[in-house]
Chains A and B, each alone.
Chain A
């Protein structure tokens, strides 16, 4: 039968195609896939089980205790610097908490400074001035081709060897720089500052309301209003008003040169400064490359087209070129931020009490290697995931809007 009748055709059209036959044969791709997965699962599970049983057995034999109960025992060591007072009788979990805050302090300040320095260096690579161009290039090549640990050790050495003793500290106005670190004046806490803080919060609300109003007006009439400077001004003015309403307390706790050390005022230790400057200088070289490639990725025609449409230089940058460059910049920039956070663990090499060095001390004192390393890994995993979530959210905001 070669010809099919119309009747037969209609019949085959209405009939559903037969469901794919489930064959439990080696020829079936689905079956093979299932077998592979079961094998992989079995191998990995048994490997993990083997490691775990070895570990438990070894711990039993060596008399190593396990469990996280040691976290509630007294730490028994002092911490060089902490955001709140700590002494050796306080429990381990508080020591870990201080380590965590110290890590976050370096990471957050470092990320802000790195972004600024890196962006300047990246833009500097496009300068019309050959000297600036060359300097930025030299900086990037020099700093990214030397291990960050070596750089940290060198900064620390500079801070502890090259700087003068506290008695002959370098002085710049109210600032003192010496082997003891950097001392600076801090305002003495008064209720007036609380009022200023309330004012800032109120200012933020006002500024937010202003922005909404301005956007609505712009959409209705096309009239443009300042979207950045006026809200900023509103916030600051509200803060200052609150501070004035609180009685304008302006008393400062200024550092003074004592007989052996700089006394009073706030201070940053040389360890903190070394790790902050070291990480910033190193990561900024990478951020500069990221920024440079982002700027290069926007073709010249985009700027020319924006100019042809009559956009001003600033608008062309803000509305046309920057959004496209950011799309390229943000994902690798996220990686650099994560790298900076992870590299802050090198603080252990110069004695800055971040979470890794606290864990290291606790490990040596209690011998609970598994728990201490687990805490460190958990801390970094959480920070990494949180950072990448935040940056992914920002990235999805700046990504191409496709329908």
Chain B
């Protein structure tokens, strides 16, 4: 009998790696044959197009404000158009030597918007801050006091106008939207009907027809002798438009409040307005903040339409800057890409912010 000797079984193979770059590539790009083929196809297209684009946009580009340098054979993008015209694109027809004023006003406004996005500033005095900053904004832009020269609103343009139109119409639309949203859920049939007609009428037509109305028909609506500045008219048009869309968003929030909350409030003896103010609206508004943020992004993009009724915000200012200058007109696409980047920067950061807010709002619900 032979003594049994200890025979170790072969070691198990190391498990397939699931972490690290190589593993990530294997799982995400080459997991099976169709995926690998797709990767090769898409990767091939990207390898073909991206270097070409980069070489056009960066390596072969001309950065000098000299249009002759851009016409040389083999030169890619002509960013000189931006170096040359950026002040016209950003501030429109605002008097050249006074452009520190819109710059300061825009910076203040952006700071205010950024502050309004932060939790630490969500206090009652934020409203006062808004009023103050808006007052400073208009004083800086319009002038006529404190030794500032007067600049009529038809010379305002570019980024300040875009930001002003978007933020002011949003702020003004909010109370209207709240009232209309409550009205659409009211028990009183006449009020419900009016609110429904308003919302459906506005939502059924494009913004551009509202803007046409503001610019062509509004003067007819006013009594003889009263003439209202086109900027105000357009602002009113955009506000009424935005309010209808926001009212629908808020109504969605109101509908999500369970009926028991209303009944509990009624049994405590709260009146209609007390119920709305203390019970319903705080819950409903917190719920719809992300959607309102998305509304704001849409509004910010929609302000580009006012160029059709001859207010020269960012898009309009660019056309104005380049159409009048035959030397630079061929490089319009670079100008478009420049303002595309500006719009993208603002909208993308706002959409990130709205995702963050959504997480904040849902924190209380997470278990």
Binding site for B on A (CB under 8 A): 33, 36-37, 40-41, 44, 51, 54-55, 57-59, 61, 127-132, 135, 141-142, 144-150, 153-154, 157-158, 161, 342-343, 345-346, 348-349, 356, 360, 363, 369-370, 373, 376-377, 380-381, 384-385
Contacts and interface: CB of A to CB of B under 8 A. Distances in A.
A346 B305 CA distance: 8
Contact of B347 (A146, A153, A369): A146
B162 to A, nearest CB: 10
Given A51-B221, A55-B220, A157-B332, A36 B302 contact: no
Contacts of B42: 129, 131-132, 135
A86 B204 CA distance: 29
A370 B188 contact: no
Contact of B340 (A33, A54, A135, A150): A150
Interface of B is mostly: helix
Contacts of A346: 208, 305
Interface stretch (B28-36, B54-62, B95-103): B28-36
B220 A147 contact: no
B348 A145 contact: yes
Contacts of A380: 204-206, 209
B138 interface: no
Nearest to A363: B216
Contacts of A51: 221
B198 to A, nearest CB: 10
A59 B28 CA distance: 68
Contacts of A348: 208, 308
B203 A384 contact: yes
Interface string B205-219: 111110011001101
The 7 closest A-B pairs by CB, nearest first: A130-B28, A145-B347, A342-B206, A37-B190, A147-B301, A147-B304, A345-B206
Contact of A129 (B39, B194, B333): B39
A73 B339 CA distance: 43
Contacts of A127: 38
A14 B125 CA distance: 62
Nearest to B332: A157
B104 to A, nearest CB: 26
Contacts of A349: 307-308
B194 A40 contact: yes
B213 to A, nearest CB: 5
A51 B204 CA distance: 22
A342 B191 CA distance: 28
A373 B339 contact: no
Interface string B338-367: 011001100110010000000000000000
Contacts of B39: 129, 131
A158 B334 CA distance: 12
Contact of B344 (A55, A146, A384): A146
B43 interface: yes
28 contacts: A37-B189, A55-B221, A57-B223, A58-B219, A129-B29, A130-B24, A131-B29, A131-B42, A132-B42, A135-B42, A145-B347, A146-B343, A147-B315, A149-B315, A150-B339, A153-B315, A153-B319, A345-B208, A348-B308, A360-B212, A363-B216, A369-B212, A369-B220, A370-B217, A373-B216, A376-B205, A380-B205, A381-B204
A57 B46 CA distance: 64
Contacts of B205: 342, 376-377, 380-381, 384
Contacts of B221: 51, 54-55
A248 B297 CA distance: 55
B206 A40 contact: no
Given A33-B187, A51-B221, A148 B301 contact: yes
A51 B213 CA distance: 13
Contacts of A36: 188, 191
B19 to A, nearest CB: 15
Contacts of B302: 147
Interface residues of B, number: 54
Contacts of A135: 42
Contact of B213 (A130, A345, A373): A373
Given A145-B347, A149-B305, A129 B35 contact: yes
Contact of B336 (A154, A360, A370): A154
B7 interface: no
Interface in B18-70: 24, 28-29, 31, 35, 38-39, 42-43, 46
Given A346-B305, A370-B220, A37 B340 contact: no
A213 B190 CA distance: 52
A145 B191 contact: no
A41 B305 contact: no
Contact of A128 (B31, B46, B222, B319): B31
Interface in B297-312: 297, 301-302, 304-305, 307-308
Contact of B217 (A61, A158, A373): A373
Nearest to A335: B203
A218 B287 CA distance: 47
B117 interface: no
B28 A128 contact: yes
A161 B331 CA distance: 10
Nearest to A64: B220
B201 interface: yes
Given A130-B28, A149-B305, A356 B191 contact: no
Contacts of A157: 332-333, 336
